[in-house]
Structure 1
Amino acid sequence: MSPSSATPKPLTPLREGDANICRHLKQAAAQYPHQLAVAVQRSHRRALSQRELRYSELDFVSLDRRSDALAFALNAHGITRGMKAVLMVTPSLEFFALTFALFKAGVIPILVDPGMGMNNLKQCFIEAAPDAFIGIPKAHIARRLLGWGKGTIQHVVNVTELTSPLAAALQTFMTGARSLAKVQRQAEARLKSDPSAALTPYPMVKLHIDEMAAILFTSGSTGTPKGVVYSHGMFEAQIQALKQDYGIRHGERDLATFPLFSLFGPALGMASIVPEMDASKPITANPQRLFAAIERYQCSNMFVNPALLDRLGRAGAALNHKLPSVERVISAGAPATIASIACFSKMLNPTAPVLTSYGATESLPVSMLGSTELFSTTTITDTGAGICVGRAIGGVKLAIIGITEQPIADWDCALALEPGEIGEIVVQGPMVSRAYYQRPSATLAAKIWDETTQCYWHRMGDVGYLDPQGRLWMCGRKAHRVDATLNGQWVKRYFSIPCERIFNTHPQVKRSALVGVNLASGRVPLLCIELEGALTGDDQQQLFLDLGELAQQFEQTQGINRFLIHPHFPVDVRHNAKIFREKLASWAQSRLDH
């Protein structure tokens, strides 16, 4: 669908005490009440055909009214402004309505990635100390069995009615949980007793732009998950970036494969089309269902992570499928390979870019690079230059500082390295978070106060450099660098991405991971390898000889001469790209020790 020919009226300028992301939904509901806001795909049987796919839809005014009704209902249930509420709901119409209802009511959603693992989830809930828990039955069962939020949760709402024969047994695990439908009916009954109130829109809570609006936990793929404090000011900055830097316009339709990003659709006046898939494990998605949703709604935008991008690209090549309606694709969450972007691009019109977006939960987006420019960097990436992630978007400042594990309290311009020097990436901008929730030591380690701008710099935990054109190049995580030593003396520093990209050019290497191991003489670099196919013992020895010769050709990899083949790298479930190098390092060390 083409964007609406009508130009949206500008919002009233945001004042410090008037912030709430829902003001964008209110505007869309007033100006374009019956345009599509959300569509959710469902299949009724395992076999796939267009006829077996069903779609539930809400227009902007219906989404606005439903979230109003839910905000009233949550208040009636005792969930009010300033409380923190865990939201564990699968992508659905209820997910959208509930999230906007929480924002309208000034309730702070706690959003976690179910793929982070049970132990991490429990720790997240201990730190967040939620007042309420809103979720599907499966989430409530886990909450009771595993003790999530025990001692702090006072209000419990079940989003799905229990109608199966197991309902009574399930209810045993959800003592105190009231169904969302029942909460709504009770609230509606109260409103009907006062006809004037029944027609009154929910009085949206207005907050200071720096006031806490949500807590979003990091994935934990490179350490313990941390709760990032989001403000409505941060959300506003992200919306402006999507409009101004990414060019998203009112009336577009987005294939939304990541729940948080899908919420920006209605706030942008863009319809969010949610395909049937496990958003926490996108690698398991059925490509034909996604293609069907794009075709039905003529989606112009797609937000996909690298694993899903690769899966869809391969499926498109096998089916000779095209996506003529798609005008742009945004890839984020982990570095996508140039080969997978090139494969996916074959489904698009020549003018439709794949935009690689760099950032983190603490600051997103930071920089952006179009696929055409990315393709021009292939050769230098494969020879150890790192991955180009583009230029800073509007309002964002980038700098590189020396690598250190020590906190840096105050910013000084002298901290910034010269172009071409590799160091830790730091960013400043309106979408940069100010703190982690209840993690003062983590906040101290990640934030640098800038007295001149009265804003924080965020230390990304990634290493890289700026080139003379102002483009940012990524060289991996700071924690994944390997500092080689010999007899207690420092020898050389190795960075993960530059080294791995060199070795990944070998046709028998599917992917590689640089780790550090300890020998009697000191710490040395070792390369773990995941193969494209099986090899015999003699072939493995030849591969190791080839890789050793390859290492000597480039300054970045000279000195790497130890290799181990791993059957299948441990990776995060969401991106299927973030390699758990800490686990590989332990595995490699154990192999050497025995």
Structure 2
Amino acid sequence: MGSTAHQRILTVPELLADRAFDEPERAALIVAGVGTLTFREWDERSDAAAHGLIACGVGRGEKVGLVFGARDWLDFAVTWTAVLKAGAVAVPISDRMAPVQRDEMLVRCGATAVLYGQIVAPPAGPGWAGTAAQLQTGTTGQPDVRVELTDPAQILFTSGTTGRPKGVRATHANLGARGPISPKRRAFAHSKYLLHAFPIGTNAGQVMLTHALTAAPAVVTLPQFTPARFARLIESYSAGTVFVVPAMATELLSAGIAANHDLSSVLLLGSAASALPPKVAAGLVEAFPNATITNYYTSTEASPAQTIMIYDPQRPSALGRPAAGSELKVADSNGVRLSPGETGEVWLRAGPYSRSYHGEEDSQDTVFRDGWVRMGDLGYVDEDGFLHLVDRDSDVIKSGAFKVPTLQVEAELYEHPDVTEAAVFGISHPVMGMAVAAAVVATSPISLAGVRSFLGERLAQHELPTRLLVLDRLPRNDAGKVIKQTLRRIAKE
């Protein structure tokens, strides 16, 4: 295939075949301390694995669970693509999940087979189970399976911070919407290497995998994130592009990596998964002197629709404008667009490439509507078209006659000199119905009275925490998001 293939949206197998044709020996994916996968190896190995799947009886449209650990990114990439080449549907699931939850997800999605990595115990889910190596039948060449853009390609489960994780179905058109692009205009062309440490089975991790297919730099990841290891990789690869989640950014700043490592190669530092607290964004500006600090706002349901915000100290809380063909609106409960400055529900749309829920009919119409995706957040658009979040709809604390947005309280807590992480949530109150509680990670002893005194000139009286939890670390899921249900349970103990 030549560059003319880049003039249309491609299926995932076509994207890989195109890169393997143009740049066969170029590194696509590197796992630090494990190995490297070139585009030619990726294409040939996934062809062989796809033949193995077909020989095992996996048919078009069947669901195949993929349970891989962070050291197995190379095998995961091969088997994920092999499943799609066989015309089946890949279901990535993090190996960090409890076995009971993992197996329940496999049953819910209707998996007929499960593939797992070298360091993962064989799942007890439905159908047969095997490793990537067991699929190598010796058959080469592209499988004789026609894959259409409208065919389902993947089911990815949401993070489940507000309830049971939901399976989100994406087609090849949805995944391929991140490409195609001219070889001379590939994303992140300023970089030879793109570094991240996102887990398999998360939306952020899957976005990085599609970047390995479509973007200019080789994608580098490491099996286990620590600030020191991450900083060493930035130095050793002279990484030009780095992606983190806010929790990782906080750890990097707390560890003081800028004092011990050369971070000057980083030209773009992107944060995903949740809003980047303004104080953390400002800290990243100082730590990465040559980097543009960028916040990406999307969700498992909305991807590839997104807003992108280059950090602006004049708009520290803004999450940017819609990008890459996306559309944004803030609407009332009936879906009617609101005027700038009015707070309502945030919706995103990415043209005809909308995703959908798998087996969640009760939630389908409330989240997906005419190509639009309800984000579950409350926010507003300012006069210049920048999105500002007020809070997660389910997180707003209704205390007496007031509604307290937790994001605002969290942002002010981050300004406390001793606070490195903060999360705000509601707890039951006998009179007010709900009251404000906060959980923090602090560098020195901290008290509720001291926190209330610090916040007294920054927040209204009804926004001040009435309960303070001081923890060694905040409970987070694989995507790096704080699990507030766990905090509420701790507060009751």
Contact 1:277 1:286 in 2 (8 A): no
Task: Indicate whether 1:158 and 2:131 are aligned.
Answer: yes
Aligned residue for 1:495?
405
The one-letter amino acid of 1:442's match is S
Q: 2:5 aligns with which of 11, 14, 21?
A: 11
Aligned residue for 1:307?
247
Task: Indicate whether 1:22 and 2:23 are aligned.
Answer: no
Query: How do residues 39-438 of structure 1 correspond to structure 2 at under 5 angstroms?
Result: 39-42=30-33, 56-90=35-69, 91-136=72-117, 139-141=120-122, 143-144=123-124, 148-149=125-126, 153=127, 155-159=128-132, 180-181=133-134, 183-184=135-136, 187-188=137-138, 191=139, 200-203=141-144, 205-207=146-148, 209-239=149-179, 247-249=187-189, 252-258=192-198, 259-278=205-224, 285-315=225-255, 317=257, 319-350=259-290, 352-364=291-303, 365-371=305-311, 373=312, 375-378=313-316, 387-402=317-332, 415-430=336-351, 433-438=354-359
Q: In the TM superposition, what whole-angstrom CA distance separates every residue of 1:283-305 from its partner, at most 9, and x where no partner exists?
A: xx234433444444443222222
Q: Give the TM-score taking structure 1 as reference length.
A: 0.73
CA positional deviation for 1:565: 1.8
Q: In the TM superposition, what whole-angstrom CA distance separates every residue of 1:499-527 from its partner, at most 9, and x where no partner exists?
A: 33234433354454443344443424323
CA–CA separation in structure 2 for the residues paired with 1:241 and 1:27: 11
CA positional deviation for 1:129: 1.3
CA–CA separation in structure 1 for the residues paired with 2:182 and 2:487: 37
Would the alpha carbon gap of residues 333 and 561 (structure 1) be closer, same or farther in structure 2, given more than 3 Å must change?
Answer: closer
Q: Give the TM-score taking structure 2 as reference length.
A: 0.87
CA–CA separation in structure 2 for the residues paired with 1:585 and 1:500: 16
CA–CA separation in structure 2 for the residues paired with 1:432 and 1:244: 25
Structure with greater helix percent:
1
Task: Indicate whether 1:544 and 2:452 are aligned.
Answer: yes
Q: In the TM superposition, what whole-angstrom CA distance separates every residue of 1:437-496 from its partner, at most 9, and x where no partner exists?
A: 0110011221223xxxxxx211100111100000000122100112233xxxxx222211
The one-letter amino acid of 2:147's match is K
Q: Secondary structure, in 3 states, of the residue corresponding to 1:341?
A: helix
CA–CA separation in structure 2 for the residues paired with 1:226 and 1:339: 32
Decide which moves more: 306-315 or 66-75: 306-315
Q: 2:478 aligns with which of 574, 589, 594?
A: 574
Contact 1:530 1:567 in 2 (8 A): yes
CA positional deviation for 1:138: 5.1
Q: Secondary structure, in 3 states, of the residue corresponding to 1:86?
A: strand
Would the alpha carbon gap of residues 261 and 457 (structure 1) be closer, same or farther in structure 2, given more than 3 Å must change?
Answer: closer
Aligned residue for 1:461?
376
Contact 2:189 2:217 in 1 (8 A): no
The one-letter amino acid of 1:574's match is D
- The runs of 5 or more residues in structure 2 that have no matched partner are 199-204
The one-letter amino acid of 1:502's match is E
The one-letter amino acid of 1:582's match is Q
The one-letter amino acid of 1:286's match is T
Contact 1:38 1:57 in 2 (8 A): yes
Q: 1:470 aligns with which of 373, 379, 385?
A: 385
The one-letter amino acid of 1:110's match is V
CA positional deviation for 1:571: 2.3
The one-letter amino acid of 2:295's match is T
The one-letter amino acid of 2:437's match is L
Q: Secondary structure, in 3 states, of the residue corresponding to 2:82?
A: helix
Q: Secondary structure, in 3 states, of the residue corresponding to 1:483?
A: strand
The one-letter amino acid of 1:437's match is H
Q: Secondary structure, in 3 states, of the residue corresponding to 2:388?
A: strand
CA–CA separation in structure 2 for the residues paired with 1:291 and 1:14: 38
CA–CA separation in structure 2 for the residues paired with 1:260 and 1:343: 27
Contact 1:363 1:431 in 2 (8 A): no
Would the alpha carbon gap of residues 436 and 475 (structure 1) be closer, same or farther in structure 2, given more than 3 Å must change?
Answer: same
CA–CA separation in structure 2 for the residues paired with 1:267 and 1:247: 11
Contact 1:85 1:107 in 2 (8 A): yes
Share of identical aligned residues, percent? Answer: 23
CA–CA separation in structure 2 for the residues paired with 1:135 and 1:92: 11
Q: In the TM superposition, what whole-angstrom CA distance separates every residue of 1:28-50 from its partner, at most 9, and x where no partner exists?
A: 111222222222222xxxxxxxx
Contact 1:28 1:269 in 2 (8 A): no
Q: Secondary structure, in 3 states, of the residue corresponding to 2:177?
A: helix
Query: RMSD in angstroms over aligned alpha carbons?
Result: 3.1
Aligned residue for 1:166?
none
Contact 1:116 1:221 in 2 (8 A): no
CA–CA separation in structure 1 for the residues paired with 2:288 and 2:445: 37
The one-letter amino acid of 2:408's match is P
Q: 1:532 aligns with which of 442, 447, 451?
A: 442
Would the alpha carbon gap of residues 316 and 567 (structure 1) be closer, same or farther in structure 2, given more than 3 Å must change?
Answer: closer
Max Rg structure: 1
Q: Secondary structure, in 3 states, of the residue corresponding to 1:308?
A: helix
Decide which moves more: 71-80 or 248-257: 248-257
The one-letter amino acid of 2:3's match is K
Would the alpha carbon gap of residues 130 and 525 (structure 1) be closer, same or farther in structure 2, given more than 3 Å must change?
Answer: same
CA positional deviation for 1:230: 0.6
CA–CA separation in structure 2 for the residues paired with 1:30 and 1:202: 17
Q: 1:564 aligns with which of 453, 458, 467?
A: 467
Would the alpha carbon gap of residues 540 and 342 (structure 1) be closer, same or farther in structure 2, given more than 3 Å must change?
Answer: closer
CA–CA separation in structure 2 for the residues paired with 1:534 and 1:289: 25
CA–CA separation in structure 2 for the residues paired with 1:296 and 1:338: 29
CA–CA separation in structure 2 for the residues paired with 1:11 and 1:502: 50
Contact 1:116 1:220 in 2 (8 A): no
Would the alpha carbon gap of residues 519 and 260 (structure 1) be closer, same or farther in structure 2, given more than 3 Å must change?
Answer: closer
Contact 2:477 2:483 in 1 (8 A): no
Q: Secondary structure, in 3 states, of the residue corresponding to 1:270?
A: coil
Contact 1:275 1:290 in 2 (8 A): no
Task: Indicate whether 1:447 and 2:368 are aligned.
Answer: yes
Contact 1:84 1:108 in 2 (8 A): yes
Q: In the TM superposition, what whole-angstrom CA distance separates every residue of 1:365-406 from its partner, at most 9, and x where no partner exists?
A: 4100113x2x3334xxxxxxxx3111111322211123x5xx
